[in-house]
Amino acid sequence: MISPEDIRKQAERSYIEFLTCSIDRASFFPKEIRFGKVKASETLAKYQRIKDEIKRLIKESRDEVGYGYSIEFITRKDRKTGDQRFPQRIWFEHEDDYLRFIDKEKEYQDFTRDTCSILNNIPVLRDWVLANPQKVIEYAGRWDDLLKVCTYFLSNPKPALYIRELPLEIHTKFVEDNKSVLRQLLDFLIPDHINADESDFEKRFNLHYDEPLIRVKILDRDMANRCFSRITDLSIPQSEFNALTLDCLSVFILENKTNFSNILNFLTLPKLSRSVAIFGKGFQLNLLKDAKCLLDKRIIYWGDIDLHGFQILSQLRSYYPQTQSLLMDEATFNEFQNYCVTGVATNINQPLNLTAEEQSLFDRLTALKEKNRLEPSVSI
């Protein structure tokens, strides 16, 4: 047998199918409900229970309450219990019966309204809607503004604006608050214009964003006076740094991973002719990988003598093979070994871009396990 609760669960599981059928105008009704028939052998043994279950099934059916499922009965004769009526078929005949039974009338009204709006404004979204009817429901009440954003990107697939600069009559935070669904929609609508490898919304859809800053110290006073209005310490957005022209020969890159402990090294570097320094960000060196101004420069990297320091050096060399290391050698490590602390263990899955001497020191640090990290210091 089946209970009204079981019928409701089946009906709810079919809801997405119902929604897609309504978009495609495909046949959904009558919607049959599957259930196990009462076996003749069970009639006597479970007579009262079966009788009660059928009574309850009838009580909550369309014939009794005016909506919901319909029941077709079959009469079976039994020598011991007499003629008995059993459900032969259970189904929903009409849309109204079905929606009211699962309490989806208002939701479906919103869905049909929003679906019509979506397909009238951007017909190519039809396949997306068919694949994502639950998303249409989830964002009920927001589709007018979502469609404004989609329509804008269809005409301007590479806006090169900040989100809040988009010329749209929407709340200033609307795009930021709805990035998840907008990403799905724009991935579908403008696949040839997105940066597919980027997960960040702004980068993926060619928008301006709050870029990381690259801090540069000009070590040549004449260069600072001539090119930077006498400024010697400045922070530059990544894209502007990538396009920067540096009239220098040497670039020093100082490591900083997490705690800014090396800032004093950076600030107290001596004046050097035709040289600049960059305050690095550990493994965020990828911020520097597209900097055209570094391609023809002598690059000197000064980082911790530890496993991570050599990994970062290796990463930098993958961008700029001419990179040299500074004070990251056996002699320096041996001389100041009393100042060593224990570094964080690391796993290496590929060869590093190190010289033979650097690789030898790296292997030694790996074997030491403790007191295998020496931080750089200007006092050295």
Residue 130's pLDDT is 97
One domain for residues 234 and 294:
yes
In a domain, 9, yes or no: yes
In a domain, 71, yes or no: yes
In a domain, 43, yes or no: yes
One domain for residues 176 and 276:
no
One domain for residues 147 and 225:
no
Q: Report the 10 Å Cβ neighbour count for 101.
A: 22
One domain for residues 56 and 199:
no
**∠ CA(78), CA(80), CA(81), 5° rounding?**
70
Would you say 69 and 61 are in contact if contact means Cβ atoms under 8 Å apart?
yes
One domain for residues 333 and 320:
yes
Query: What average pLDDT does the chain have?
Result: 91
**Of residues 324, 245, 236, 234, the one with CA closest to residue 287:** 236
One domain for residues 43 and 121:
no
Last residue of one domain, picked from the residues 165, 187, 204: 204
Alpha-carbon distance 213 to 190, whole Å?
Answer: 30
Provide the domain count of the chain: 3
pLDDT tens figures, 6-58: 999 999 999 999 999 999 999 999 999 999 876 656 665 576 788 889 999 99
Within its chain, how far is the Cα of 222 from the centroid?
A: 47
Domain range for 194: 105-204
One domain for residues 241 and 352:
yes
One domain for residues 217 and 199:
no
**Model's pTM, two decimal places?**
0.74
Residue 380's pLDDT is 41
Residue 255's pLDDT is 78
One domain for residues 240 and 364:
yes
One domain for residues 89 and 131:
no
In a domain, 73, yes or no: yes
In a domain, 119, yes or no: yes
In a domain, 373, yes or no: no
Alpha-carbon distance 235 to 355, whole Å?
Answer: 32
Last residue of one domain, picked from the residues 101, 125, 143: 101
Residue 260's pLDDT is 45
One domain for residues 90 and 117:
no
- pLDDT averaged per 10 residues, the chain (length 380): 93 97 94 82 67 92 96 81 83 97 97 97 97 97 97 97 96 96 98 96 95 93 94 93 93 70 74 92 83 95 92 94 96 94 81 92 92 74
One domain for residues 263 and 338:
yes
